[in-house]
Structure 1
Amino acid sequence: MLMNALESAAVNNPARRALQRFYEVRWLTRLGGRLDGGRAVEIGCGSGYGTQLVVERMGASSVDAVDPDPRMVVRARRRLRRHANVVRVVHGDALDLAGALGAEDGSYDAAFDFAVVHHIEDWRSALDEVARVLRPGGRFYFVEVTSAALARPTYRRLFDHPEHDRFAAGQFLAELSRRGLEVGPRWKTFVGSDYLLGVARRADPTAE
């Protein structure tokens, strides 16, 4: 589901960018480490600020970013022009990274979700796709909005989200585990249980 105009304005402003840079990315780095040359994919890149941080703050050598909103793709490409040699931004669906990016199984060292999965009606299939494209040992960095936040009257009144089958923090973590994405202690909630942040690692069957 695409964001409405009000939510687009809410996430494309200096306050949201400051939260991403000084809180979310710092915690994600603390929990999962930097990429330092790794290849990453970002689902739902919006205006591209998260993609910029993945390159500049987390050290990715290349990032493929998708977004379902053509307007956001244009904005992201404009923002990321100076990183055009390492970033590819395409119009596409998080449920079909093969179609959007030609992404093969196990083709990325890391995947990023900056509060996108809760917008997807079939969110479990989005997690399937993340697990598919991560190599064994690859990391899934996520920041998500839980059902606790989405049930609040302010959220329901101002923003558009799917209304059925939303996830609590524990449910999201359990679904990651079912897909071989191991979280362990690398997660935290903030603003009560409204938001969830963490890093999961793709199980490596060859590891001892």
Structure 2
Amino acid sequence: MSYLSDNYVEETRFGFWFLRSHTWQHHVLRVAINDLRDLFRAPLPDNPVLLDAGCGQGKSFQYLRQTFAPRRLIGLDADPHSLNLSGEEAARQGMDVEMIGSDCASIKVPDASVDLLFCHQTFHHLVEQDQALAEFYRVLKPGGYLLFAESTEAYIDTWVIRWLFRHPMHVQKSAAGYLEMIRRQGFEFGPQNVSYPYLWWSRAKDFGLLERFGLRQPKPFGQREETLVNVVARKPVEGCA
């Protein structure tokens, strides 16, 4: 397979299958998009241009349309096969989605041309994370929003995830590490724009099975190492602090 990035980390067969599963669509994607919507503390942009960075097989498209009503939706991925599947998914949904084959570290989109940039469970696959975040900042309009949803190192670096999936382990970060990285790039957000979902599938080590069977109590917020972090971060308007 020829990928559109020199640093692309190929997914396992299981991982590729999982990205089209019911669990992925309804318990991961849909839940994350709803949570990101709830993290807005300002009106949503009207008729936005929305870029899905790392769109995979396009399973996010229907939820992004329902939630954000974009006038233009762009799907970006570095895997040509995934892009083809995304195009097929858009056709099934009756949607007009522009497909771009591109690395997140070098996005083929003009400066300040995007209102919303959706990056869901993509960033931990990227080797050139600083360059990708700089590209996200570049393509967003002043006042535009980064919708960032990620699994953290505490989850990615567990034996079951390392066994089932494939990731560049040397770039994984904690929740605090991702938030600091986004803030350092120049994005603005406050505590009200951040959430730490504690979902059954995101439990480190056992997917919450011990809790489900009553063999262990879930750790409360502040006493656990977070496995998920979602943030809605704004690119400042020029001249504004």
Gaps of 5+ in 2: 1-8, 199-223
Q: Could you say which structure has the higher strand fraction?
A: 1
* Alignment partner of 1:51 out of 40, 61, 71: 61
Q: Equivalents in 2 of 1:51, 1:128: separation in Å?
A: 24
- Aligned-residue RMSD, C-alpha: 1.6
Find the residue that maps to 1:182 and give its secondary structure. Answer: coil
Q: Equivalents in 1 of 2:166, 2:174: separation in Å?
A: 18
8 Å contact from structure 1 (residues 42, 65) kept in 2: yes
Amino acid corresponding to residue 76 of structure 1 in structure 2: S
TM-score when scaled to structure 1? 0.91
Q: Equivalents in 2 of 1:177, 1:150: separation in Å?
A: 22
1:95 shift after superposition:
1.1
Q: CA offsets, 1:58-91, max 9 Å, x none?
A: 111111111111111111101112112xx20122
Counterpart residue number, 1:201: 234
- 111-120 or 175-184, larger mean C-alpha shift: 175-184
Amino acid corresponding to residue 168 of structure 2 in structure 1: P
Q: CA offsets, 1:83-102, max 9 Å, x none?
A: 12xx201222111112xxxx
TM-score when scaled to structure 2? 0.79
Amino acid corresponding to residue 235 of structure 2 in structure 1: R
1:181-200 to 2 correspondences below 5 Å: 181-185=187-191, 186-191=193-198, 193-200=226-233
Counterpart residue number, 1:68: 78
- 59-68 or 1-10, larger mean C-alpha shift: 1-10
Q: Equivalents in 2 of 1:149, 1:34: separation in Å?
A: 31
* Alignment partner of 2:121 out of 115, 120, 131: 115
Amino acid corresponding to residue 79 of structure 1 in structure 2: E
Counterpart residue number, 2:19: 11
Counterpart residue number, 2:201: none
- 16-25 or 157-166, larger mean C-alpha shift: 16-25
Q: CA offsets, 1:40-63, max 9 Å, x none?
A: 111110111213322232111111
**Residue 2 in structure 1 maps to residue 35 in structure 2:** no
Gaps of 5+ in 1: none
Displaced runs of 4 or more, over 3 A: 33-36
1:22 shift after superposition:
4.2
1:74 and 1:138, CA in 2 relative to 1: closer, same or farther beyond 3 A? same
1:76-87 to 2 correspondences below 5 Å: 76-81=86-91, 82-84=94-96, 87=97
Aligned length: 202
1:126 shift after superposition:
1.0
- 168-177 or 46-55, larger mean C-alpha shift: 46-55
Considering only CA atoms, is the larger Rg found in Structure 1 or Structure 2? 2
